[in-house]
Chains A and B, each alone.
Chain A
C-alpha cells in the first residue's frame, strides 16, 4: 500500500442516494445524501462536508477517495450517451441489431427488442478481414477509412467505436483504423481489441459501442469531480472502483468507462467478502435487497464470484436476453426485480405476483402516504408486523398501516378472497420464493449447492426477509452486519488495487503449445500489473485462469492454473485440473473427449494487511425482552407474540430467541420462530437456526 492512508473516504452514487463512508483510523462515519442527477459530484461534496464535520477533520486531511457510481449504467439504461459512430467489418453492419436472433419470451408475440445502442445509419463498414486463426484474409481498405473519417467529421458525432471480426486474435486492423481516423477526428476512439478482447462478436461489439457511448460524459464528470475536490482542499489521489471489484486510476476509468458499470453493487459484494474474511467464512452468499431490486452473489474463500460477461439494462421483467451484453470482468451477481418498493398484483390464474415494477421512492409504497396506492412489499411487511410504523427510517417517515391495508385489500385481498394479513403473507411468500429460486438457479449455474453457504444480508429490506429466505434455501446461518445501509461505500474502502485482463485464444489441448500461451499470458500480466502499479507500490499477486471446455461444448468453465511460464510437460497437469473442475461443476468428467482452451485471464491485485478476525459467537446468553407485539410467523402461518428488541441495547454475546424483531434506525431484523439471533463481537447479528450445531 502507499503510505498515508489513515483517513479513507468511500463515495457510492446510487439511483436514489449517494452514500459516503469515512474511515478515520478505524472509526467509521457515514451519511446518505440524495443523488443529484444534474451535478452528481455535488452530492459527494455535500456528503464529505457532513462526514468530515462529524469526524472533526478538515476535508484536506483525507488521504484517499475511492469512488463508485451507477452513472455509466444509468447512461446506458436511459440512453443518455454521446452520438457515436461505429466502424465495423464489411458484411457485419447489423451485428448489434440482430443480436442472437431469438425472442426472450416465447409466448408473448408483441415483445419489442431493445434498440441497438448505435442506430443503423451511424454504423459504417469497411473492407478488411482477419480470419479465425488471426491471419489476414483481406487487407484493410485505408482509402475507404479516410472517406468514413470525413463523413464522421461532418456528422456531428461525439465518439467513435471500432469493432472488427476476430480482432481478439489479431488487433492490427483495429489499431491501424484508429490511427487513420485519429489523423482527421478530434474524438475519443475506442477499439474492441482493447476494451474487450473476447471471442463472440455481438458481445464484443456491443461492449466497445457502450464504452464509446458513455465515454465523453464520464470523462467530463470525472474531470469536474477532481476539480471540485481540489477546490475544497482535497489534493489526495482519487481512485475508481470497477465492475470487477478492484480499483483503477481516474485516467483509466475515463478511457474505459464501461468498466465502471455495476461498480456500486460490486462494492456491496466486497463489503460482504470483507465480513466473510473477518469471521473466516469460506462459503458465503451475499444478499443485498434495496428499494427496487435484490442482488445475490456467491463468495468463496473471501473472493466474490466473477464472470467475463453480463447483461445490463434489461427491458422486459428482468428477463435474460432483454438487455444488452457487456463483456468485461465483473463480480457476478444475479439481480431480480424484488425490492421494498416492488408492486404486488394478481395474475390471470389468481396467483399473487411481486414486481418487477417498483413504486420507487416517489410515490413509494402506499404506507408512505406520498400518494402511492398500489401495494408494495414494504406494505406487506408492515401489515405483518415486521416494521414499526412509528419508527421507520429513524422515525423520518411515519408509516400508515391503514393505507397499506387498503392497498393490499383492494389489489390482492378482495381479488382472491383473502383476509388482509393472509394476502400480505402471500405477497411476502411470493417475493421470498422468487429470490430463493433465483439464488438456487444461480448457484447451480456455478456448480454450487446454496444450502452449504452462510448468508450475509444487507441493504434496507434484506434483514426483513433474510431469515425466511434462509428457511427456503436450507441455510443455517445468516449475518446482518453493522452499517448495512451504506454497505457498498464501506466495501469500497476494503477494495484491493486490482485489475483483470482477459483475452481469447482458442487452442486444443492435444495441440498444446506453451510458447504462444506464455506470450499471451505475459502480455495479460503486463496489462494487469500496469494498472495495479499505478495505484500501489505494495506486493502484487497474480491469478491465472484458463476458460476451458470439451471441444464441441458451448460453455467454458474457469480452471485456475499456476502463475508461471508453461512448458510442454504441463499438458497432463492442465488436463487433470480441467477434469477435476468439470467434475466439481457437473458431477463427473467425460472420458475420451478433446479438451480446448478458449479464453485466458490474469488478475493482478495487491495484498492487503489482514484485518481483525473473530470467531463466530454461537452460544450466547439469552436475554428477556421487555416489549412484545403480534407478528405473523411464516412457518406456523399465524400471528405469534414476538419480542421487540432495540439493536443498540444488545451487547456482544446476547442471544435473542425467535420469534423476535430487532429494530434499529434504518431497518429491522426479523428472527423467525426457527431462528435465534446472537450478537457478534463487531456488533453483527448472527441468525442461527435452532437446533443447528452450536
Chain B
C-alpha cells in the first residue's frame, strides 16, 4: 500500500501549492499598494516547523520568493518557541533579514493544529511608504530610508499592535491596510492547511515535508549531474548612480552544487543602490534555476543545491548601507550569472536584456499660481528581453522581475498627468540571427496647469545589453525632455508645465550572427517596422 501512500503524498504536495496560491490571491485582492495589486510585486509560501520552505505561490516575483525562503529561519531564531501562540503574526522589514529594502514588509504566522505547531505561513509585499526619504537612491544610510521594524509581533493571540506605524509613514491608511492584508492572507493559508490535514488524517506536516524535499533533492541532483563541471567567470558594467559599476561573478558547477562567488564586484556605493546579499542570492538562484531546473517546484530543497558567496561589496552591502533601490542592481544579477553559464553551456543561454525595470515615481502638483491637485503616481515599465537561442527576445517584457505594467487609463485616473505615448521602440532590439526584444518609448506630461518631479531609477543608459554568440547589443536607454534636454538616469528631477518627459527604454541584445537571420524574419521585421533603416 506504500504505492498508494506515495500518490497521496503527491496529491497533498499539489494541494499545498494550491493553498499558497489562494494565500497570494487574497493578498492581491485586498492590497492597497499599486505594486502588489496591479503589478504582482509579492510572494506567499508555506514552511515546515523548522522554517524550510515547502511550497510557494506561482504568483509573485523571484526577488521576493527566494528572499522570503531565507527570512523565515530568522524569525524562528528571534522568537522563542515558548512565546509563539495561536493567532500570532510576526513582522519585519529588515533589509538583511527580509527582502532587501525597507519598503517590503514580510509577515510570518505560525500555524497550529490541535495545539501543536505544524508550520508557518509567510508573505511579502511592497508597501506605498515607510517614511524617511521615500523610494529613491538619496539616503546616505539605511537610517535615512525609513522606519525600521525589527522582527517583532504584529499580533499576539489575534490582538494587533496598533501603535506601530501611524506616526511614521506618509500614507498611514494604505500602509496599515496592507499590513492587515498580509496578516489576512496568512490566515487563509492556515485555515486551508488545517482543513487539508484533517481531511487526510495527518497530525502534522513532517511526513509530507520529507517526501517533498526527498523528491526535489533527487531531481535537482540528477539535473546538476548532467551539467559540465568547472568554473566560469563573467563581468558586466552597469550605469551606477554617478559612475559606472562593475559586477563580477564566478560560477562553479561541482558535484551536486552550483556555487556563485561575486568577488571582484564594485565596492559599496554612497547611494541607495546597494544590494543586501539575501537579494543578490535570490536573483542568482532564480537565474540558475531557469537554466538548470525550470520545471522543478521552488522549495528549500531546490534552493539548497545553490550556494552564494561574496566579500563585502555592492552585491553584499552590510548594514547600514543605503539599499532603497536595491532592485536596480539586483535585477542585473541574472544577466551577470547567465553570462558565466553561457560559457559552460555554449549556445543555450539567452543574450543580455534591459534587465532592470524602468519604474517611474512621479510627484505631481499644480504649477505656481494655478489650481489643481497633487498626487503620487507610480508606473512600472519594461524594456526588451535578450534574444533566446532559437527565438527572438520578448519586446517590452519584464525579466528577471515578475511584475506587470498598469493600464495607462488607470494611471491617468490616479493623478493629473497625460501619457502621450507608450509604444514599441523600433530599431532598439540588438541584431542577430535572433533579434533582441524591442524597448519602448514613453512620453509623460503634467496635465495643463501642473508640473512634476520624478524619481529616475533607470539603467542600461550608458551600458547597453550585450548580444551573445555574435549578436549585436540592444539600443541603450535615453532620458530627456521633449525639447531635447538630456536628463540623468537616476535621482529626482523636474519636468516643468508644458514640457514632456520622454523615456526611451533599452532593447535586448541579439543572439547569433545577424547574417544568419532567416530572410522571412528580416522581411517581417521590415513589414512591422521593428527595425529602422537609419540607426537611432
Distance in Å: Cβ of A346 to nearest Cβ of chain B: 11
Alpha-carbon separation in the docked complex, A128 to B419 (Å): 13
Closest partner residue, chain A, to B184 (CB atom)? A587
- Asked whether, in the complex, the Cβ of B18 is within 8 Å of the Cβ of A426, the reply is no
Chain A residues whose C-beta falls within 8 Å of the C-beta of B263 in the assembled complex: none
Distance in Å: Cβ of A583 to nearest Cβ of chain B: 12
- Asked whether, in the complex, the Cβ of A444 is within 8 Å of the Cβ of B26, the reply is yes
- State whether the Cβ of A55 lies closer than 8 Å to any Cβ in chain B: no
- State whether the Cβ of A137 lies closer than 8 Å to any Cβ in chain B: yes
- Asked whether, in the complex, the Cβ of A555 is within 8 Å of the Cβ of B29, the reply is yes
Chain B residues whose C-beta falls within 8 Å of the C-beta of A444 in the assembled complex: 22, 25-26, 188
Looking at A111, A120, A202, A347, the one whose CB has the most chain B CB atoms below 10 A away is A120
Chain B residues whose C-beta falls within 8 Å of the C-beta of A517 in the assembled complex: none
- Asked whether, in the complex, the Cβ of A109 is within 8 Å of the Cβ of B290, the reply is yes
Chain B residues whose C-beta falls within 8 Å of the C-beta of A445 in the assembled complex: 25, 29
Q: Which of A9-17, A256-264, A348-356, A367-375 contacts B (4 or more CB under 8 A)?
A: A348-356
- State whether the Cβ of A418 lies closer than 8 Å to any Cβ in chain B: yes
- Asked whether, in the complex, the Cβ of A349 is within 8 Å of the Cβ of B423, the reply is no
Q: Which of A38-46, A94-102, A279-287, A458-466 contacts B (4 or more CB under 8 A)?
A: A94-102
- Asked whether, in the complex, the Cβ of B398 is within 8 Å of the Cβ of A349, the reply is no
Chain B residues whose C-beta falls within 8 Å of the C-beta of A418 in the assembled complex: 3
From A119, A199, A352, A437, B410 is in contact (CB under 8 Å) with: A199
Alpha-carbon separation in the docked complex, A93 to B425 (Å): 11
Closest partner residue, chain A, to B349 (CB atom)? A109
Alpha-carbon separation in the docked complex, A129 to B289 (Å): 45
- State whether the Cβ of B295 lies closer than 8 Å to any Cβ in chain A: yes
Chain A residues whose C-beta falls within 8 Å of the C-beta of B313 in the assembled complex: none
Chain B contributes a number of interface residues (CB within 8 A of A) equal to 89
- Asked whether, in the complex, the Cβ of B413 is within 8 Å of the Cβ of A132, the reply is yes
- State whether the Cβ of B232 lies closer than 8 Å to any Cβ in chain A: no
- State whether the Cβ of B304 lies closer than 8 Å to any Cβ in chain A: no
What does the 1/0 interface line of B415-458 toward A look like (CB < 8 Å)? 00011111110000000000000001001000100000000000
Alpha-carbon separation in the docked complex, A552 to B31 (Å): 9
Known: A103-B402, A109-B294, A131-B412. A98 touches B173 (CB 8 A): no
From B40, B408, B447, A201 is in contact (CB under 8 Å) with: B408
Closest partner residue, chain A, to B419 (CB atom)? A91
Alpha-carbon separation in the docked complex, A149 to B367 (Å): 41
- Asked whether, in the complex, the Cβ of A441 is within 8 Å of the Cβ of B1, the reply is no
- State whether the Cβ of B28 lies closer than 8 Å to any Cβ in chain A: yes
Chain A residues whose C-beta falls within 8 Å of the C-beta of B395 in the assembled complex: 97-98
From B15, B177, B289, B405, A100 is in contact (CB under 8 Å) with: B405
Query: How big is chain A's contact interface, by range?
Result: 35 or more
What does the 1/0 interface line of B511-536 toward A look like (CB < 8 Å)? 00000000000000001111000000
Chain A residues whose C-beta falls within 8 Å of the C-beta of B170 in the assembled complex: none
Distance in Å: Cβ of A305 to nearest Cβ of chain B: 15
Distance in Å: Cβ of B136 to nearest Cβ of chain A: 21
Distance in Å: Cβ of B160 to nearest Cβ of chain A: 12
- State whether the Cβ of B180 lies closer than 8 Å to any Cβ in chain A: yes
Distance in Å: Cβ of B188 to nearest Cβ of chain A: 7
- Asked whether, in the complex, the Cβ of A101 is within 8 Å of the Cβ of B382, the reply is yes
- Asked whether, in the complex, the Cβ of B14 is within 8 Å of the Cβ of A166, the reply is no
Known: A445-B25, A555-B29. A132 touches B422 (CB 8 A): no
CB under 8 Å from chain B, chain A span 445-480:
445, 472, 474
Chain A binding site: helix, strand, loop or mixed by DSSP? loop
- State whether the Cβ of A510 lies closer than 8 Å to any Cβ in chain B: no
- Asked whether, in the complex, the Cβ of A91 is within 8 Å of the Cβ of B31, the reply is no
- Asked whether, in the complex, the Cβ of B423 is within 8 Å of the Cβ of A94, the reply is yes
What does the 1/0 interface line of A110-122 toward B look like (CB < 8 Å)? 1111000001110
What does the 1/0 interface line of A575-613 toward B look like (CB < 8 Å)? 000000000011100101100000000000000000000
- Asked whether, in the complex, the Cβ of B7 is within 8 Å of the Cβ of A348, the reply is no
Looking at A90, A351, A472, the one whose CB has the most chain B CB atoms below 10 A away is A351
- State whether the Cβ of A165 lies closer than 8 Å to any Cβ in chain B: yes
- Asked whether, in the complex, the Cβ of B62 is within 8 Å of the Cβ of A106, the reply is yes
Known: A441-B25, A553-B37. A352 touches B10 (CB 8 A): yes
- State whether the Cβ of A650 lies closer than 8 Å to any Cβ in chain B: no
- State whether the Cβ of A629 lies closer than 8 Å to any Cβ in chain B: no
- Asked whether, in the complex, the Cβ of B7 is within 8 Å of the Cβ of A352, the reply is yes
Closest partner residue, chain B, to A97 (CB atom)? B424
What does the 1/0 interface line of A384-400 toward B look like (CB < 8 Å)? 00000000000000000
Distance in Å: Cβ of B429 to nearest Cβ of chain A: 14
Known: A132-B413, A348-B296, A434-B14. A110 touches B388 (CB 8 A): yes
- State whether the Cβ of B85 lies closer than 8 Å to any Cβ in chain A: no
Alpha-carbon separation in the docked complex, A587 to B40 (Å): 22
- State whether the Cβ of B409 lies closer than 8 Å to any Cβ in chain A: yes
Closest 10 CB pairs of A and B: A91-B421, A554-B37, A437-B18, A102-B404, A107-B294, A120-B528, A132-B412, A100-B404, A637-B4, A101-B405
A-B contact pairs, 23 of them (CB 8 A): A92-B408, A100-B405, A102-B402, A103-B398, A107-B290, A107-B295, A108-B295, A110-B388, A113-B394, A199-B410, A348-B219, A437-B18, A440-B18, A444-B26, A474-B199, A552-B34, A552-B177, A554-B31, A585-B29, A586-B26, A586-B30, A590-B173, A637-B1
Supply 9 further A-B pairs (C-beta < 8 A) apart from A349-B215, A422-B3, A441-B25.
A109-B290, A110-B388, A348-B219, A351-B10, A430-B11, A441-B21, A554-B28, A555-B29, A585-B29
